[in-house]
């Protein structure tokens, strides 16, 4: 079983974009297995806030599940896709506005709910969640 960053080493040429709050937490606690993301040769690029990393691909800070959780918006000329990741555990939870008591990082319940609310503003996008095979059109 691996964490969501557990196979990063398989992508040896990839740049790993990570919110600074997430990186600080990961490096300062037993939050995850450090060598899964901070391995020899890792190309870690810390970011703070929203950032377009390539044309049509934007990182969106969505703290709550973790201190530096982020989602990714992919915009093509035809469609918009939102990789919501773990902003909510499932599409149903997302629809309901979140369950911070169960899925938010300690002390981040308000941010958890706010991150869900902010992603709902991407009307028309198809959202995908890490723990749900069902997508959701916003």
Consecutive 10-residue averages of pLDDT for the chain (138 residues)? 73 93 87 81 96 98 97 97 96 97 95 98 96 95
Q: Dig out the tokens for 92 from the structure.
A: 């149903």
User: How large is the C-alpha radius of gyration of the chain?
Assistant: 15
DSSP 8-state assignment for residue 35: G
Residue numbers of the domain that contains 30: 1-48
Residue 138 lies in a domain: no
Residue 53 lies in a domain: yes
Q: What CATH number has the domain bearing residue 121?
A: 3.60.15.10
Indicate if 58 and 99 belong to the same structural domain.
yes
- Residue 3: predicted pLDDT: 62
């Amino acid at each position: 079983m691996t964490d969501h960053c557990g196979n990063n080493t398989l992508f040896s040429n990839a740049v790993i974009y990570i919110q600074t709050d997430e990186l600080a937490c990961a490096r300062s606690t037993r939050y995850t297995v450090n060598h899964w993301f901070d391995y020899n040769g890792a190309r870690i690029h810390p970011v703070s806030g929203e950032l377009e990393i390539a044309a049509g691909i934007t990182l969106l800070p969505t703290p709550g599940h973790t201190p530096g959780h982020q989602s990714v918006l992919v915009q093509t000329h035809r469609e918009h896709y939102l990789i919501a990741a773990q902003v909510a555990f499932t599409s149903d939870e997302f629809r309901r506005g979140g369950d911070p008591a169960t899925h938010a990082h300690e002390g981040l319940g308000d941010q958890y709910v706010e991150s869900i609310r902010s992603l709902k503003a991407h009307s028309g996008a198809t959202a995908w969640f890490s723990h749900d095979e069902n997508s959701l059109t916003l």
